[in-house]
Chains A and B, each alone.
Chain A
Amino acid sequence: MNFGWIVTYADLLLWGAGQTLLLLVISVGLGFPLAIGIALLRLGQNRVLARLADGYCTFLRGTPLLVQLWLLYYGVGSLLPMVPGLRGSILWPLLSQGFFFAALSFTLNYAAYEAEVIRGALRSVPRGEIEAARAFGMPPGMVTRRIWLPRALRTALPVIAGGVVLQLKATPLAFSVTVMDLYAVAYKVRQDTLLVYEPLLVVSLFFVVVAILINRIFRRIEAQVPIRR
Chain B
Amino acid sequence: MSGLMEKLALLALTPPGWGGVLLEGALATLAISAGAYAAGFGIGLAGALGKLSGQRPLVAALDVYTTAVRAIPELILIVGLYYAGTDSLNRLLAMFGLEPVEVNGFLAAVLVLGIVQGAYMTEVLRGAILAIPVGQIEAAKAMGMPPLLRLRRVVFPALMPNALPGLANLWLNVTKDSALIAVVGYQELALATRIAAGNTKQYFLFFLAASFIYLAITLMSNQVFRLMDRRYRRGLPQSA
Contacts and interface: CB of A to CB of B under 8 A. Distances in A.
Contact of A75 (B80, B87, B175, B204): B204
B77 to A, nearest CB: 8
B71 interface: yes
Contacts of A171: 73
B72 A62 contact: no
Given A65-B176, A74-B203, A207 B211 contact: no
A170 to B, nearest CB: 7
A200 interface: yes
Nearest to B217: A62
A62 B212 CA distance: 9
B73 A63 contact: no
A67 B204 contact: no
A217 interface: no
A204 B207 CA distance: 30
A166 to B, nearest CB: 10
A172 B183 CA distance: 11
Contacts of B183: 176
B interface, size bucket: 35 or more
A30 interface: no
Interface string A175-215: 01000000100100000000011001001100110010000
B52 interface: no
Contacts of A165: 71
B190 A70 contact: yes
Interface in A152-183: 165, 168-173, 176, 183
B193 A172 contact: no
Interface string A14-31: 000000000000000000
A61 B179 CA distance: 14
Interface residues of A, number: 36
A75 B209 CA distance: 11
Interface in B194-216: 194, 197, 201, 203-208, 210-211, 214-215
A193 B112 CA distance: 25
Contacts of B172: 62
Nearest to A165: B71
A88 B172 CA distance: 43
Contact of A200 (B80, B193, B206): B80
A213 to B, nearest CB: 12
B74 A169 contact: yes
Interface in A103-135: none
Given A62-B218, A74-B197, A67 B76 contact: no
A173 B75 contact: yes
Interface string B200-240: 01011111101100110011000000000000000000000
29 contacts: A62-B215, A62-B219, A63-B211, A64-B176, A64-B178, A64-B179, A64-B190, A65-B176, A66-B179, A66-B182, A67-B179, A67-B210, A70-B190, A74-B203, A74-B207, A75-B197, A75-B203, A78-B201, A78-B204, A172-B73, A172-B76, A173-B180, A183-B73, A183-B75, A183-B76, A196-B84, A196-B87, A207-B72, A208-B68
Interface of A: 58-59, 61-68, 70-71, 74-79, 165, 168-173, 176, 183, 186, 196-197, 200, 203-204, 207-208, 211
Interface of B: 68, 71-76, 79-80, 83-84, 87, 172, 175-180, 182-183, 190, 193-194, 197, 201, 203-208, 210-211, 214-215, 218-219
List the 6 shortest-distance A-B pairs measured between CB atoms, nearest first: A75-B204, A62-B218, A64-B179, A71-B207, A74-B203, A64-B176
